[in-house]
């Protein structure tokens, strides 16, 4: 195909109601904390590619690539250019009209858009030898978006926040008998959704990537999943999102988690979830403490906390119990997992592991362990 003259303008029109979402999704990739590709300047974080009257857009970083064919858009000429997606999205999002006319001037490297009253001009960069291609993988994974979302929701909150703590910053993810299984840990807690890991073929999904995927799933209907060359690929009617997965080479770390679930329960308590959450929130908020103390005595559970300012709060829940123990956990961690559990009744399982007392909570297809912070 002959290249178009540099002086030929490229014209197209967008409708904000129909097209703004596509740019919002691509902007999510740019705004994530993941690094941009080393050979891709920030000024080209959004690529427009016009070919045979159709207009495509794409954005990528080191870990994700997403692209769309913009529906109901006719472009006047073939051509490719890049620009800063944040500047473009902010300008389009705040533009006062729904219909917006665009002209790309390749001679001056400018994208100009607006109407008779309002005009915006953004700097662009020419891009040569660019090819747009969509995956053509025929074999789709037999999983639903609801299943995928649930598996991430029940494990991502247990990931470590600091990149230096890899692989604890990622979710272990694998398929077994057509079902999704996942687990994570930040060394203070462990979440297991589905089956335990026993050397199945598995991948690591970083928490950042999982957040991008969930953002897309929340905005797009009829998403299908594929797994190819260590990439998780989401496809839909006019676009796709491809995310790099890391092959799991940390078998010993994830296998080690299993030991904490194999011990017998020291004791178990059945409680009303709302009563327990209300008590923990009350105590931790008033005491202004990130730690919560659980003390079991005869027929009562004492929930207490103290702070460096010498604030102290105590609340009591009546239970059927004849054992005595006392242990402390991170209050925010306990509240988070309780919020995620759907059931109105909660079973607190206390497990003795060496010299420590672990707390395990269970729900359908899910187990969570909290380590004590004494």
Q: How many residues does the chain have?
A: 374
Fold classification of 10-126 (topology level): DNA Polymerase III; Chain A, domain 2 (3.10.150)
Identify which of 77, 89, 106 has the alpha carbon closest to the alpha carbon of residue 27. 89
CATH for the stretch 263-370: 3.10.150.10
pLDDT single digits (tens) 199-244: 999 999 999 999 999 999 999 999 999 999 999 999 999 999 999 9
The domains spanning 145-259 and 263-370 adopt the same CATH topology:
yes
Distance between CA atoms of residues 149 and 234, nearest Å: 13
Distance between CA atoms of residues 373 and 259, nearest Å: 19
Fold classification of 145-259 (topology level): DNA Polymerase III; Chain A, domain 2 (3.10.150)
If you search the block for the tokens 């010299």, which residue do you land on? Answer: 355
**67 touches 134 (CB < 8 A):** yes
Contacts of 121 (CB under 8 A, 6+ apart): 110, 111, 112
Contacts of 155 (CB under 8 A, 6+ apart): 171, 182, 183, 184, 191, 192, 193
Considering the entire predicted model, what is its pTM? Answer: 0.88
pLDDT single digits (tens) 260-309: 887 777 788 889 999 999 999 999 988 888 899 999 988 899 999 987 77
**189 touches 156 (CB < 8 A):** no
Distance between CA atoms of residues 11 and 112, nearest Å: 10
* Pairing of β 345-353 and β 170-176: unpaired
359 has pLDDT over 70:
yes
Calculate the alpha carbon distances from 122 to 81, 87, 105, 113, 119 in Å.
Answer: 12, 8, 10, 9, 10
All structural domains of the chain with their residue ranges: 10-126, 145-259, 263-370
Count other C-beta atoms under 10 Å from residue 322's C-beta.
9
């Amino acid at each position: 195909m002959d290249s178009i003259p540099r002086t030929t303008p490229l014209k197209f029109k967008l409708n904000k109601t129909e097209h703004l979402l596509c740019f919002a999704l691509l902007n999510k990739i740019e705004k994530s904390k993941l690094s941009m590709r080393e050979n891709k300047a920030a000024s080209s974080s959004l690529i427009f590619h016009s070919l045979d009257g159709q207009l495509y857009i794409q954005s990528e970083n080191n870990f994700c690539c997403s692209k769309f064919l913009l529906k109901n858009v006719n472009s006047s000429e073939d051509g490719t250019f890049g620009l800063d997606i944040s500047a473009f999205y902010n300008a389009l999002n705040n533009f006062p009209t729904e219909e917006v006319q665009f002209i790309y001037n390749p001679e001056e490297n400018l994208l100009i858009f607006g109407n008779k009253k309002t005009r915006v001009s953004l700097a662009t960069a020419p891009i040569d030898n660019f090819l747009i291609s969509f995956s053509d993988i025929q074999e789709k994974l037999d999983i639903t978006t609801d299943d995928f979302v649930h598996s991430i929701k029940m494990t991502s909150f247990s990931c470590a926040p600091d990149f230096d703590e890899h692989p604890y910053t990622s979710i272990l993810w694998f398929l077994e008998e057509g079902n999704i299984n996942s687990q994570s840990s930040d060394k203070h807690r462990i979440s297991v959704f589905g089956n335990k890991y026993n050397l199945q073929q598995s991948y690591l999904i970083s928490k950042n990537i999982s957040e991008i995927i969930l953002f897309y799933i929340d905005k797009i209907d009829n998403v299908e999943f594929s797994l190819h060359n260590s990439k998780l690929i989401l496809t839909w009617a006019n676009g796709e999102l491809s995310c790099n997965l890391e092959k799991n080479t940390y078998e010993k770390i994830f296998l080690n988690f299993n030991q904490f679930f194999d011990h017998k329960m020291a004791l178990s308590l059945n409680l009303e979830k709302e009563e327990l959450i209300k008590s923990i929130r009350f105590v931790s908020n008033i005491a202004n403490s990130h730690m919560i103390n659980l003390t079991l005595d005869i027929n009562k559970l004492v929930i207490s906390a103290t702070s460096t300012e010498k604030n102290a709060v105590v609340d009591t829940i009546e239970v059927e119990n004849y054992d005595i123990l006392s242990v402390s956990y991170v209050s925010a961690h306990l509240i988070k997992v309780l919020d995620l559990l759907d059931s109105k009744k909660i079973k607190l399982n206390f497990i003795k592991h060496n010299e420590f007392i672990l707390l395990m909570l269970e729900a359908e297809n899910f187990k969570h362990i909290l380590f004590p912070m004494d």
